[in-house]
């Protein structure tokens, strides 16, 4: 029975991963920092395949406790870890690198981005590695983004979301470090971009719409076929198919939901 941990399972792509993986024959551990506040997760917890874990990915003690919970159910192993959780600031998303109102705001956004988007997946991976080493599948999927690919960003001339983009570039290198260390043990560490996906829980505020249009125009410079966001079910089923096909020779790579370096 393959076992999965999905980090950041309260909403968006994380919730969709749980939904798609919760089928007979799988064991799915849906991890969230506030599971009781997620209606979607509460509904999915009724499925026999789903187990709920409470942990913040920046808290190593909580992560170790979550790993101990998993071990109790599986007998000490885990097959697949999905590092999906991330922080994207709504307040600073459409600022450029020198446009923060104060240096303190820039510092806070960069630190929270680093803590959540780089250290978070590293701490989560380290907490679950002892279990993953005893698993049969040995795969770790970490969500990054096409706007952390420097050639794409340069070509699109996309200057927004500096802290987020820098942090996602950082987690790609963490993925490489794990791939090198665990190659001999047959692990596959994959960084993946989900595409541009509509995970918003509310319609965009009117003042954001011109920014979203600007973003779409920037992306169309690189990918003229880009029409707008895809839905979570399409993105997640594509990512799971890439994960399924990935072999040891892919370990350490950073690809899109299409399984290539085409981000859109
Ligand atoms: N959507 C896109 O177009 C897109 C594009 C490129 C990359 N991505 C990447 O895909 C992943 C999922 O994106 P999304 O759009 O689904 O994001 P989202 O809707 O913003 O959801 C983020 C998830 O991360 C969780 N989270 C944040 N900080 C956490 C922490 N410290 N501990 C535990 N959980 C934490 C959130 O939990 P709470 O509910 O508790 O806040 C939530 O479940 C992210 O890694 C994102 O960077 C998304």
Return the CATH number at 56: 3.40.50.720
Which residue from 111, 79, 8 is spatially nearest to 244, judged by alpha carbons?
A: 79
**H-run or E-run covering 54:** strand 50-54
The pLDDT score that the predictor gives to residue 123 is 99
Query: Residues lining ligand 1, judged by CB closer than 6 Å?
Result: 8, 10-14, 32-34, 56-58, 84-88, 116, 120, 143, 145, 193-194, 196-197, 199
The residue whose C-alpha atom lies closest to atom 27 belonging to ligand 1 is 86
Report if residue 93 sits inside a domain: yes
Residue carrying the six token digits 């000490």: 76
Residues with pLDDT less than 50, the chain: none
Report if residue 124 sits inside a domain: yes
Q: DSSP label at 47?
A: S
Which residue from 72, 75, 174, 162 is spatially nearest to 123, judged by alpha carbons?
A: 174
Centre of ligand 1 from the C-alpha of residue 75, in Å: 29
> Which structure tokens are listed for 186?
């047959």
Report if residue 11 sits inside a domain: yes
> Which structure tokens are listed for 73?
């159910």
Report if residue 49 sits inside a domain: yes
CA dist 247 → 72, 74, 190, 243 (Å): 28, 24, 10, 9
The residue whose C-alpha atom lies closest to atom 5 belonging to ligand 1 is 196
The residue whose C-alpha atom lies closest to atom 32 belonging to ligand 1 is 56
The pLDDT score that the predictor gives to residue 154 is 98
What span, in angstroms and rounded, lies between the C-alpha atoms of 180 and 171?
14
What span, in angstroms and rounded, lies between the C-alpha atoms of 119 and 7?
13
The number of domains in the chain is 1
Q: CB 101: neighbour CB atoms within 10 A?
A: 10
Range of the domain at 102: 3-256
* Ligand 1 atom at minimum distance from 146 CA: 6
Report if residue 261 sits inside a domain: no
Report if residue 67 sits inside a domain: yes
**H-run or E-run covering 32:** strand 27-32
Report if residue 60 sits inside a domain: yes
Report if residue 200 sits inside a domain: yes
The pLDDT score that the predictor gives to residue 61 is 98
What span, in angstroms and rounded, lies between the C-alpha atoms of 22 and 48?
8
Residues 52, 30 contacting (CB under 8 angstroms) = yes
* Ligand 1 atom at minimum distance from 116 CA: 31
What span, in angstroms and rounded, lies between the C-alpha atoms of 55 and 5?
12
């Amino acid at each position: 029975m393959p076992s999965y941990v999905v980090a950041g399972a309260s909403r968006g792509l994380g919730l969709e991963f749980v939904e798609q993986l919760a089928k007979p024959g799988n064991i799915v551990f849906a991890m969230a920092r506030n599971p009781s506040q997620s209606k979607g997760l509460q509904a999915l917890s009724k499925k026999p395949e789903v187990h709920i874990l409470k942990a913040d990915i920046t808290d190593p003690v909580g992560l170790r406790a979550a790993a101990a919970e998993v071990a109790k159910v599986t007998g000490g192993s885990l097959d697949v870890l999905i590092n999906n959780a991330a922080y994207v600031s709504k307040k600073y998303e459409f600022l450029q690198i020198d446009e923060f109102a104060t240096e303190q705001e820039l510092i806070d956004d960069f630190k929270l981005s680093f803590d959540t988007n780089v250290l978070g997946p590293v701490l989560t991976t380290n907490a679950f590695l002892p279990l993953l080493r005893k698993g049969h599948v040995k795969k770790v999927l970490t969500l990054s983004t096409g706007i952390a690919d420097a050639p794409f960003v340069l070509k699109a001339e996309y200057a927004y979301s500096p802290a987020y983009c820098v942090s996602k570039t950082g987690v790609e290198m963490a993925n490489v470090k794990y791939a090198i260390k665990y190659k001999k043990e047959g692990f596959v560490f994959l960084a993946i971009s989900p595409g541009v996906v509509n995970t918003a829980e509310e319609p965009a505020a009117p003042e954001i719409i011109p920014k979203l249009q600007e973003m779409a125009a920037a992306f169309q410079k690189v990918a003229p076929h880009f029409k707008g966001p895809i839905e979570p079910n399409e993105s997640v089923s594509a990512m799971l198919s890439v994960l399924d096909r990935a072999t040891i020779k892919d370990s350490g790579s950073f690809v899109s939901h299409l399984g290539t370096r085409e981000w859109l």
